[in-house]
Amino acid sequence: MGSITRPATLTPEIRQSWERCLEAGLDPHRPPEPVYADAATVREARDRHELTRRLALAEMHNLYHQISGSNFMIALGDPGGMVLDTITDDTFRTTAEAKNIRAGGLWGELQQGTNALGLASAMKAPVTVHGPEHFFRMYDGLTCNAAPIFGPSGEIAGILDASSDCRSRQRHTMALVKMSVRQIENGLFRDLHRNDLVLIFHTRAEYLRTLSAGLLAVDPTGTIIAASAQAAFFLQGLPARPGHHFAELFRTGFLDFLDESHRRDRVRLEDHEGSSYVVAIDNLHKVCPLHRHPEPKPKSQSRPAPRMPSPDFIAEDPAVTTLLTQVAGATARGVPILIRGPTGTGKELMARHAHAVSGRTGAFVPVNCAALPDTLIEAELFGYAEGAFTGARRGGAKGLVNEADGGTLFLDEIGDMPVQLQSILLRLLDDWTIRPVGSSARRTVDVQLVAATNANLEEAVQTGRFRADLFYRLNTIEITLPPLAERKDFHRIARHLLHIIDPAASIADTALALLAQRPWPGNVRELRSVLTRLAITADRSVIGAEHLNAPAPPPAPAPASTLERAVIDQVVATWEQSGRNITETARRLGVTRNTVYKKLRTMSNYVKSGPRGGIDD
């Protein structure tokens, strides 16, 4: 066996893994051939872990967009370390390492030496394996972060792994992996106890519907069935275990607690150690529909039960289908939904589907957060009384939130929301109580909140452009729409759009195949424009490959450098006119904030000049 040169320092976990590999007879200089399970075994494993896999695939797509551009791969393994699914960045896909990480691959220590997926399975704990910490040198170029997914009974249900090139190592990747694992675990807990009372609780009201909340399942008598890891953390020192009773944890009687929960959505409880919690219950009216005080029911219970109408858009891609299920689950619980994705991917269509599937009879009210006037934010949102300010309409106005009462409030471009509006919205989310400007009367509204953005909110939080507490409130359920180039149902989308554009038009399979190869930076919106142009060009004949190859006849453009300079000059001029405000500049030009930033930074002499010397937001 060849000699081993270890890195300068090794954690005890990595050192012990190396020792196990040596004891098993593995040679770090002679890696064995990769071992793969056959297709039937992979299918059987996927079927056996169907729920975990369904929840995990949605989180894998979220992770993909959160760490996109860093030369990486995300993998889901079964409890023993066999790869079930992967999502791979285009750059990483071409590497030698990526060829070995595919469905059916066995990544236990005995097959692949020290590696994150196999070690997380063995340790039953999250682990990072960086570069030369891998036992086999062929994986020295990778940094791998893996965490086990625990089922409601404490067993390992799977392993989530994010691997990247060492040179693009991201310090926050493990934190994102752990968040995704927590989301999957909560989904498994809720599914297992969908016919039980599930208490959701936290010491702070604003975190009640977040990943940091505890979950406690009890039966109709108050006997504990199960507790999530976070619930056990909150209630440490108390018997939060199956077979014990609600009364052993909290000072309020169980029947009194149920009575209060029938009257209001959130209840305050104090445990026997003196800690206070805000508590909500899932499945209350299904499990205990006629408990001592069946009325009055919360306002949200007056609407019809959630239904599952078909979306008004093509959604045959497996990832999108999973997102539809998540949206239905979120609206059934009335929790906020954050829709993310590149421009043109259909965020508003998904928001309208959320409204439809919620079964709400109120209005769908869209709000462009970037377009709200800074001086009239509260009046626009909450309405105003007659004479509240100069120019106020006779009789006052209801306000956008009031219009959405009993329906859905859709906050579009929330990443461009003015900071003043962020604090106002945060107050609204605390109790859903509004007071029109100029009035002393308050009223509570029942609103399903859906927000959407293509901005990087994590970066905005770090730079102070977006409040962290608001981000955590909005991010209860996050779904990320995949770009058009990644959609498996591209052909169906294209034919559907073409039928809308011109019901008599048709397109050949060869033309569709060529279209599918394009990158589509403008996504569905761009595809619609291209198909409109092709329908006009083909003039009622079948759109074929020859129509795609026909040169367009635009006017002769200026030289690239001159044209680029003209664009930059326009951006800079508008930037100056708007008081060097990025959001206002983007609004006036009809482009994204990122475009404005890019053009300003390209010409650093513009950015650095002037008495204020910098880019203001």
Question: For 375-389, how does the pLDDT look when each residue is reduced to its tens digit (9 = 90+)?
Answer: 567 777 887 776 655
E strand or H helix that includes residue 179: helix 173-192
d(CA 70, CA 411): 30
User: Taking residues 339-367, what's their average pLDDT?
Assistant: 91
User: Strand, coil or helix: what is 331?
Assistant: helix
Q: Quick check: 589 pLDDT over 80?
A: no
Q: Quick check: 189 pLDDT over 80?
A: yes
User: Taking residues 64-85, what's their average pLDDT?
Assistant: 82
Q: What share of the chain is helix, strand, coil (3-state, %, to 5)?
A: 45, 15, 40
| Higher-pLDDT residue of 561, 609 | 561
Q: Quick check: 558 pLDDT over 50?
A: no
CA triple 444-452-347, angle to 5 deg:
120
Strands (E), 203-251: 214-218, 224-227
Identify the top-confidence range among 284-288, 355-359, 471-475, 567-571.
Answer: 355-359
Q: State the average pLDDT for the chain.
A: 81
Question: For 496-552, how does the pLDDT look when each residue is reduced to its tens digit (9 = 90+)?
Answer: 888 888 888 889 999 999 999 999 988 998 998 899 888 888 877 788 888 886 544
Contacts of 470 (CB under 8 A, 6+ apart): 422, 425, 426, 429
d(CA 9, CA 133): 9
Q: Quick check: 95 pLDDT over 90?
A: no
Q: What's the token pair of residue 167?
A: 């040179």
User: Taking residues 252-277, what's their average pLDDT?
Assistant: 90
Q: What's the token pair of residue 160?
A: 């989530």
Identify the top-confidence range among 257-261, 299-303, 587-591.
Answer: 257-261
User: Taking residues 577-582, what's their average pLDDT?
Assistant: 71
pTM over 0.85: no
Lowest mean pLDDT among 43-57, 298-312, 540-554, 558-572: 298-312
What is the side-by-side order of every strand in the sheet holding 448-453? 364-368, 408-412, 448-453, 337-340, 477-480
pLDDT at 224: 93
Q: Quick check: 1 pLDDT over 60?
A: no
Q: Quick check: 125 pLDDT over 60?
A: yes
Q: Quick check: 130 pLDDT over 80?
A: yes
Q: Quick check: 587 pLDDT over 50?
A: yes
Q: Quick check: 484 pLDDT over 80?
A: yes
| Percent of residues, the chain, with pLDDT higher than 90 | 25
HSE-up of residue 57 (Cα within 13 Å, Cβ side): 18
The torsion angles phi and psi of 298, rounded to 5 degrees, stand at -60, 150
pLDDT at 239: 92
Residue among 580, 613, 610 nearest 596 (CA): 580
Q: What's the token pair of residue 600?
A: 């300003």
* pLDDT interval class at 590 (50, 70, 90): low
Under a CB-based contact definition with an 8 Å cutoff, are residues 127 and 116 in contact? yes
What is the side-by-side order of every strand in the sheet holding 267-270? 224-227, 214-218, 197-202, 276-282, 267-270
pLDDT at 161: 93
* pLDDT interval class at 576 (50, 70, 90): low
Strands (E), 354-432: 364-368, 408-412
**Interstrand relation of 408-412 and 448-453 (parallel, antiparallel or unpaired):** parallel
* pLDDT interval class at 147 (50, 70, 90): very high
pLDDT at 171: 64
pLDDT at 560: 40
User: Taking residues 307-324, what's their average pLDDT?
Assistant: 80
Q: What's the token pair of residue 254?
A: 């169980």
* pLDDT interval class at 615 (50, 70, 90): very low
Question: For 446-460, how does the pLDDT look when each residue is reduced to its tens digit (9 = 90+)?
Answer: 899 999 999 888 888
User: Taking residues 491-499, what's their average pLDDT?
Assistant: 90
Q: Give one word for 589, left, alpha or beta, with left for phi > 0 and alpha for psi -120 to 50.
A: alpha
Q: What is the DSSP string of 102-133?
A: STTBB-SHHHHSS-HHHHHHHHTS-EEEEGGG
| Higher-pLDDT residue of 367, 560 | 367
Q: What is the DSSP string of 244-263?
A: -BGGGTBSS-HHHHHHHHHH
Q: Quick check: 206 pLDDT over 70?
A: yes
Q: Quick check: 295 pLDDT over 70?
A: no
Q: What's the token pair of residue 447?
A: 């609103």
Q: Quick check: 301 pLDDT over 60?
A: no
Q: Quick check: 392 pLDDT over 50?
A: yes
Question: For 2-34, how does the pLDDT look when each residue is reduced to its tens digit (9 = 90+)?
Answer: 444 455 577 888 989 998 999 889 988 888 888
Residue 150 DSSP class: E
Q: What's the token pair of residue 383?
A: 């309405």
Contacts of 48 (CB under 8 A, 6+ apart): 78
